[in-house]
Each structure stands twice: as structure tokens, then as C-alpha cells.
Structure 1
Amino acid sequence: MGTTPDRPFAGEALGAFVAASRWAEIGPALRHEAGRSLLNFFGCALGAAGDPAVETAARVMAPFSGPERATVIGRAERLDAMGASFVNTIAANLLDYDDTHLETVIHPTAPVASPLLALAEIRGLTGAEVLHAFILGAEVECRIGAAVSPGHYDRGWHITSTAGVFGAAAGCARLLGLDARQCWHALGIAASQSAGLVENLPSAAKNVGMGNAARNGLLAALMAQAGYTAAPAAIEGPLGWARAMGDAPDLGRITAGLGQEWEFARNTYKPYPAGIVFHAAIDACLELRQRVAPDDIASVLVEGDQLLLDRGDRLVASARDCRVSIHHSAAVALLRGSAGVADFSEGALHDPGIAALRGRVKAGLDAGLPRGAARVTLHDRRGRAFSALVMDARGSAARPLTDEELEAKFRENASIGGRESDAGPLIQRIWRIGDAADPAALLRSLGAA
């Protein structure tokens, strides 16, 4: 294998980056961002640990699990590394509450962190090794995603699943100590295991794609370690991953500034357990609730770009629909003045007041609004109009959640998972995971007795 006349193959460049990176070169800000991501990840997984979808995933995987055992977050089961990776990724993403790289709409942490944590627990690796591999894997995931955005997602590929497998492969390759050539092969093998559909977003099938990204990335790294090889241009070749699943990739987004400019540094965190495109609408509705009493609302118009309508202008028939619904997001924010986990549950779905207000919400296109923005206009029963425009949602890069807000979110999720009493000590241990000689003790403490 070699290079093209003007640049290395995409996998070659990424493989060299992953293998050559040194922990001492990772700055404090990036290390801290990784800690924020893991705190958010663990909280989201704890909050969903009792969900029937997680229960089912754990039950299905258990008979096929090998002898080595890793923690399933918030649960008593212990599975092998692939099984734990699969289930923990599903749990962390299930509530639509995990982190987001806004440009690509990738949720970076769940598919990358899960297999790394499982490997660390089984093989006795250090916290610094895990944090370093996580940062590298998330960076690879976001760069590959950026190279095929937005056409890849627009074609119906669920980009967190499809790009997540590359992040998992890269992170696991680093944690396993693969050299640059083996890392390159791991990414090429991962290219043949990439899948996930946007059509499945309102169903648990979406989360199967997420879980597969984690365990397939681990499998790709293990196969490369054992000597399996892949085509040099498996990512960007004429019949490679990117062209098969979208447009010709922008290779500059994959390779430019590797190790100097970090896509992962642009990670953001959700204040609401719903699709990221609905957050500006929720913010606008919470603002309008201060001006109009819910009983006085006659009609609601939520306007945004085409993506907002494509993702959220839908009938609501299940709790999963609620998390990807313009109508439900607006209704709960206006009626309850909140948009937490309980507001997107089965109880909220069947709440008569929310259902009635959902029916008075309409969605409209405003092509002049940028992606992520929303305008909400209310008419009260006297015919008066009230409007709120939110250009940058809470939790976005322009209005990021603070560490304290992430800790409060962790406490909320830990309480849902029955871990409210030890949330404080867990938060402190997660913040210090990079200093842990044996993070396995923390991971085991996150399981259920």
C-alpha cells in the first residue's frame, strides 16, 4: 500500500494519526471536553437502563456472550466486550439525550466510548489510555462524517451509526496498541460494517444500528490486530464507502489539520431529551409560556428550515415519536413549562391536555432561517399574536451547557436510574477518570447490584 501522488489515502492518514498521537500533546481543554462527554454519556445510560429496549437488548445478547465480562451500565448483567458495547451504546442514545456534533448531527460519544470502556475493564487499561483513545476515535468519527455531510444524511443514512463505526474502530485500534498500518486496516474493515437508517429514527431499530456501530468497530480493530486487511481506499475509493453511500467525499475535511484542529472540540450537549433540531422551538415555547397562559392558547405555528419539518412534522403514536415531534415538543413546553425525560414518556404521550394542545400545533417552512433556529407564533383566544425567535438553542455552541448544568443533568438521569444517593461521588470519580490507574472499579460501580 502507498499513497496517491498528492495525498495519502484517507484511512492511511487517519491510521497514522491514531497510532502516532501522544497523550502529552492533548491539551487540557480537549481532555476536559472528553470528561464532559463521558459524564453526559454515563448519565444518559443510567437514565435509560431500565427501559424495555435496553432490557430486551441485554436479554438477547446474554446467550451469545463470551467468558470475559464487562459492566452493563445501571444493570446487574455483565456481558463480554461486544455485548456490553452493544447494550451500553443503545442505553446512552435511547432517550435522544446524548451529545451532538452540530454540523454533522453525529452523537459522538455513545458508539466510541462503550467499546473502549469494555476493553479497559476486561484488559486492565488506565484511564488516561481510555480518554486518549476516546478523543482520537471521536475525532475520526466526526471528520469522516463532515467529509460526507450533508448528502449522506439526506440520503437516509443515520450518520451516527454509519460514521460511529469508524470512531469505534479507531479508538479500539489505539487502545489495543495497533500500529499505523493496522489502524488503517481497521478503518477499512469498519467501512464494510457501516449501516443505519434515518427512517428508523422513531423506533428502537435506530438504536440497533448504534449498538452495531460500537461492536462492529471493536470487531474491526480485533480483526486488524489478528492480521485481516482491507483495500487501501475503502473509505473514499470509486467503489468505497463514501461513494456507495453518498457523494464523493471532501477529503480535506478528513485530513486537514489532523492533530492541530479538533472537530471533537465542537461537541455540544442537550438540555432536552429530544432531537437536536427541536431545541430552538422548545426554547421559544418556554419563553412564550411566560407571556401567554396555556389555557389561552388557540393556535401554535412552529417555523424552521426543511430539516426541522422533515424530522418532526409527524403523527405522534408512541413515546419515541414524541422525541422527534415538533407538535409534542411545543405542547409540553407550553403546557408544562418543562421538557425533561418525563415530558417525552408514555405518560406525557397520553396526557389529555398535552394531546389537545398537540392538535393545535402546526409546522411551517421558513427557508430563511438557518439550521437549528426556530420561530414560534401563538394566537390566543382573543386573536392576539405572540412570537419568539430563537437563533441559537440552549446547549448549542453559542449557548453551551456549563459543567454545573451537565452535573445537574447527570443527577436527573441517575435519579431515574435509581442512583440518586450516590450521584455526587460518581460525578467526582467520572471527572477524574483520566487520572485513574484502574477505571474498571468506577465502571463496576456503575452497574447494578
Structure 2
Amino acid sequence: MNQLSPFPTTSEELSNWVTETGKITNSLALKRAKTAFIDTIACILGAADEPVTKKVFEGLRGSGGGLCSVVGRAETLSAENAALVNGTAAHALDFDDNFLPAVTHASAVLVPALLSLGEEVGASCDQLLDAYIVGLEVQAWLGHHMIPVHYAAGWHATSTLGTIGAAAACVRILTLDTSTARSAISLATSMACGSKIQFGSMTKPLHAGLAARAGVTAARLAAAGVEGHAEPFDGPWGFMSLHHATKRSNIPENRELSILKHGLAHKKWPCCASAHRTLDAIYEMIEEHSLSTENIEKIDTIIPESNVKNLRFDNPKTVNEARFSMPFTAATLVCSKNLTLNDFTETTLHRQDVRNFMPRVFMHAAPAQTQEETGIWDIPAVTTILTTNGQRITKKIQQPVGTIHIPLTDEDLELKFLECAGRTLSTEQARQFFDCLQDFEQQNARHVASYLRNIGANRNRSHHQPVPEHKMDF
């Protein structure tokens, strides 16, 4: 199956598709979902010792037991709370993927939710892949109706649309019926929240964790019989209207699954995606023309207004703010000829050479070309470097490196995994885990999730209490 057909127009039709559509068998869709799991697991491992990950775990430590793995910890939590911690970690470095149709960090929500719930119920990883694609498609369906106005109004779609997609994915894992799925989706609309005002703070990555937890919770409450409004998206009090969107009547001509049509954007740079096309251009120009701080007078970049608003920290005071700063990221790239996780620390935040170069970076908002911009990359990013000898070099980029148009290579993704995982695991352990994930679809969720634990923790799954094995019935 590689289509969303027929295209849902009501919550009932959407829920019916979530529960009744056949198992996803398209090889490219499954390959892309597998890559999303591997890339997101890398980001989770890389953020095990980030302050926000530690603080969220500490806040949940006394909230009750569970058997699900938490990144970097020997202790286990409930599926909901493990999803919260691991979801926060997945987004803490801002190195996780983007999903353009919904303008979400889709995998930072879906992967932790599915790993935790899958670990608890003993799901196979091929079930996780199927559920991931279904949850992603629900995000895309919402994006069709709600983007760009929802995102432009200030909502962080990762924690709004992402919550509903996660609920649908968890429904799929639990093999619930259509009526129950409808309730889970309705319940999720009452848990979906989060403003972009939190960009640059610890709460921004927490949004992904909250959405992951809410997805698990919504599915479980629905399974227990909690019901919601049958059509939560429609009407003046409906989810779409209250979140600055109007349900569209048009049905897309191409109903191909979004993971096939759009794919995911895997990040080359560990910072806000709004800066990536500019960073790609700078990197290419300094390589092509042998440029450095000594012969660059200034850098001008013109990007969409929504990108400018996201990158609002001209003089970042914290590492989190630095990830949302065009001057900092651009200056660091010029000074270091690269931009890595090691450039986002308390020490590097105050590098004198970077601080000296930052005033040479200028960012401007491009005028909207139409009233119906549908993505953060619809308008090309135009970046110009003026050299000290008066040469003006310009590069225009439509799609950043990492999208399906300019994908990261298998080698790039492997190096990224080893870099991230190496912050928590030894080199040997990171390599072992990466090799294990190459057969992800053949694994069990419990085995994969166990790698997230503290390296000294027992990975013997025998201590799991017996739970019903949920089987996909197609």
C-alpha cells in the first residue's frame, strides 16, 4: 500500500484508515521509516547528558514504576514517562529530522512514543515501522488543512499536530478498532498544545516529549473506554478553527503517502532548520572560493519571514539560544569550517573569534511571493558573501541538504549516528548498536530499546513482566 485512498474528509474516515488500511509494504516507505528510527535513536543517545534530559528524568523519578528504557539511565519508567524523557532527548540537540507537510519534528515524537509502547507490549520492529508511517500520514493530513496558517500563528506544530499523529501511531500498535481510534484522536486534540515562544528554551525540546507521552496516553485512555467528541476538528469550536486554520475542501490529486512524496529532512547541521539553507550556501562558498574570516567582509542572507522569526537570537546568551541564532551558527561555520555538536557548549558559546565575526552576519526577511506559502522552504534562501576585495558571491538554495532532493549519504548518516551515540556509548558499543539497527525490521522493540539504557544496566529482557503480545491483524 502506498496511497492514502480514499482521502479522509471526516474524523471517522481518518480513523477508519488508521485502523483498517492494510499493512504498509512499500519498500521505499519502509526504508525511509527505518532511516528515521535510526537517525532519531542517534539523537536520543546524543542528548542523554543534556541538562533538559537530566532534569525531566529527575522530575519523573518518583512518579511511579514501569519497565520501559530511558536513555542513559539504569532505572525504568512507564511507557508514557519513558516516551516523555526520550522524546525530550530526541529534540534536545535540534539535530532530529523535519517533516515539511506538517512543519513538525515528526520523528522526535513518533519514535520515542512507539519505542516505549512497543517495548512495553513486546511489539516487533516491523510493527513500529508500519505504525510510524501511519502516524506520519495523520500529521500530513492535518498539515494539508492547517499549514501554513497554524505554524505562522505561533503554534509549535511538533507539539500540536505531532500529538495527534502519535496517538494514531499508538492506536496502530495496540490494534484498536475504528471507534476506539476515533476517541484516541479526539482525546489527543485536547492534549495538543505548545507555542513557538519556547524556541531557545528547555521547553522547546520538552514539547516533543510531551507530545510523545500524550500520544501513548490518548491511545490508552481510549482503549479503556474514554470517549471524545466524534468530530473534534470541525466547527467554530473545533481543533482547526481554534488553531487558526480552516478545513480545506480540496482533495490532493496525488494521494501518494507523504513519506514517499515528501520524505523527511535529516539534518546536516545541529541547529534550527530555518538556518540550514543559509549554512549550506556559506559552506559551499567558503569551500569553492577558499574563503575565511580574513577575506570575508560580510554575509547577507534573505530567507522567509517565518525563518527569521524562528532565528530570533542575534546575541545568544545560552546554548539553547545559540541553536536559534543565525549570526552564531554562520560565524561558527566560517571560523571552524564546520558546525558540529561540539560547537554548542558553554565554552564555545563565548569563543572570541566567533563573537568577533557575528556582527558581519546580516539576516533579512524575504517578501512573501503568494498568500499560500505551504512550507518553510517555499521561498529560496539567497545568501551573498562580500569579500574584502569587493567580490560579491551569491548562492540561491531552494532545498537544504538532507531532504529527498539532496539526501545525506549512507556514510553521512552512519557518521552522524556514531558521533551522537559516541556521547553516551563507547566506540565499540556505538558501532555494535549501529550494526544491530541495520536489521531493524527483524528486531524486537525490547531489544532495541534496551540499548538506550545506562551502559552498566542489565540488558537481559527476562526481567520484563509478561504482557499480552499485540499482533497486527491485516
TM-score (normalizing by structure 1):
0.92
- The answer on whether the counterparts of 1:106 and 1:142 sit within 8 Å (CA) in structure 2 is no
The structure-2 alpha-carbon separation of the partners of 1:345 and 1:142, relative to structure 1 and needing over 3 Å to count, comes to farther
Q: Which runs of 5+ in 2 are unaligned?
A: 1-5, 370-376, 457-474
Once residues 252 and 55 of structure 1 are traced to their aligned partners in structure 2, the CA distance between those partners, rounded to angstroms, is: 45
Partner of 2:372: none
Greater Cα shift, 173-182 or 138-147: 138-147
- The answer on whether the counterparts of 1:133 and 1:174 sit within 8 Å (CA) in structure 2 is yes
1:426 aligns to 2:425 (yes or no): no
- The answer on whether the counterparts of 2:274 and 2:308 sit within 8 Å (CA) in structure 1 is no
Partner of 1:263: 258
Q: Could you tell me which amino acid in structure 2 is paired with residue 326 of structure 1?
A: M
* Deviation of 1:351 (Å): 0.5
- The answer on whether the counterparts of 2:313 and 2:322 sit within 8 Å (CA) in structure 1 is no
Secondary structure of 2:385's counterpart equals strand
Once residues 16 and 130 of structure 1 are traced to their aligned partners in structure 2, the CA distance between those partners, rounded to angstroms, is: 19
* Deviation of 1:9 (Å): 5.5
1:288 aligns to 2:295 (yes or no): no
Once residues 293 and 125 of structure 1 are traced to their aligned partners in structure 2, the CA distance between those partners, rounded to angstroms, is: 52
What is the aligned counterpart of 1:445 among 442, 451, 455? Answer: 451
The structure-2 alpha-carbon separation of the partners of 1:250 and 1:419, relative to structure 1 and needing over 3 Å to count, comes to farther
Q: Which runs of 5+ in 1 are unaligned?
A: 1-5
Once residues 105 and 345 of structure 1 are traced to their aligned partners in structure 2, the CA distance between those partners, rounded to angstroms, is: 27
* Deviation of 1:297 (Å): 2.2
Once residues 180 and 100 of structure 1 are traced to their aligned partners in structure 2, the CA distance between those partners, rounded to angstroms, is: 29
- The answer on whether the counterparts of 1:373 and 1:393 sit within 8 Å (CA) in structure 2 is no
Once residues 121 and 173 of structure 1 are traced to their aligned partners in structure 2, the CA distance between those partners, rounded to angstroms, is: 15
The structure-2 alpha-carbon separation of the partners of 1:251 and 1:180, relative to structure 1 and needing over 3 Å to count, comes to farther
Once residues 364 and 279 of structure 2 are traced to their aligned partners in structure 1, the CA distance between those partners, rounded to angstroms, is: 15
* Deviation of 1:376 (Å): 2.3
1:112-151 → structure 2 map (5 Å cutoff): 112-151=110-149
Once residues 146 and 62 of structure 1 are traced to their aligned partners in structure 2, the CA distance between those partners, rounded to angstroms, is: 39
The structure-2 alpha-carbon separation of the partners of 1:339 and 1:8, relative to structure 1 and needing over 3 Å to count, comes to closer
> How many residues are aligned here?
438
Partner of 1:320: 320
- The answer on whether the counterparts of 1:36 and 1:403 sit within 8 Å (CA) in structure 2 is no
Q: Could you tell me which amino acid in structure 2 is paired with residue 385 of structure 1?
A: R
Partner of 1:111: 109
Partner of 1:14: 14
Greater Cα shift, 141-150 or 371-380: 371-380
- The answer on whether the counterparts of 1:288 and 1:334 sit within 8 Å (CA) in structure 2 is no
Secondary structure of 1:261's counterpart equals coil
- The answer on whether the counterparts of 1:188 and 1:230 sit within 8 Å (CA) in structure 2 is yes
Once residues 22 and 397 of structure 1 are traced to their aligned partners in structure 2, the CA distance between those partners, rounded to angstroms, is: 25
1:375 aligns to 2:374 (yes or no): no
* Deviation of 1:78 (Å): 1.5
For residues 330-361 of structure 1, what are the alpha-carbon distances to aligned partners after superposition, in whole Å with 9 as ceiling and x for unaligned? 11111111011112332321100001111221
The structure-2 alpha-carbon separation of the partners of 1:250 and 1:345, relative to structure 1 and needing over 3 Å to count, comes to farther
The structure-2 alpha-carbon separation of the partners of 1:221 and 1:337, relative to structure 1 and needing over 3 Å to count, comes to same
The structure-2 alpha-carbon separation of the partners of 1:146 and 1:157, relative to structure 1 and needing over 3 Å to count, comes to same
Partner of 1:57: 56
* Deviation of 1:237 (Å): 3.0
* Deviation of 1:26 (Å): 2.2
Partner of 2:179: 181
1:28 aligns to 2:24 (yes or no): no
- The answer on whether the counterparts of 2:42 and 2:417 sit within 8 Å (CA) in structure 1 is yes
* Deviation of 1:381 (Å): 3.1
Partner of 1:47: 46
1:417 aligns to 2:424 (yes or no): yes
For residues 229-259 of structure 1, what are the alpha-carbon distances to aligned partners after superposition, in whole Å with 9 as ceiling and x for unaligned? 1111102333111111112122656x987xx
For residues 351-403 of structure 1, what are the alpha-carbon distances to aligned partners after superposition, in whole Å with 9 as ceiling and x for unaligned? 00001111221112333786363222223333333333323321123101133
Partner of 1:94: 92
- The answer on whether the counterparts of 1:313 and 1:327 sit within 8 Å (CA) in structure 2 is no
Identity %: 27
Partner of 1:197: 195
Please identify which structure carries the higher helix content. 1
* Deviation of 1:109 (Å): 1.0
Cα RMSD for the two superposed structures: 2.1
- The answer on whether the counterparts of 1:433 and 1:439 sit within 8 Å (CA) in structure 2 is no
Secondary structure of 2:395's counterpart equals strand
* Deviation of 1:425 (Å): 2.3
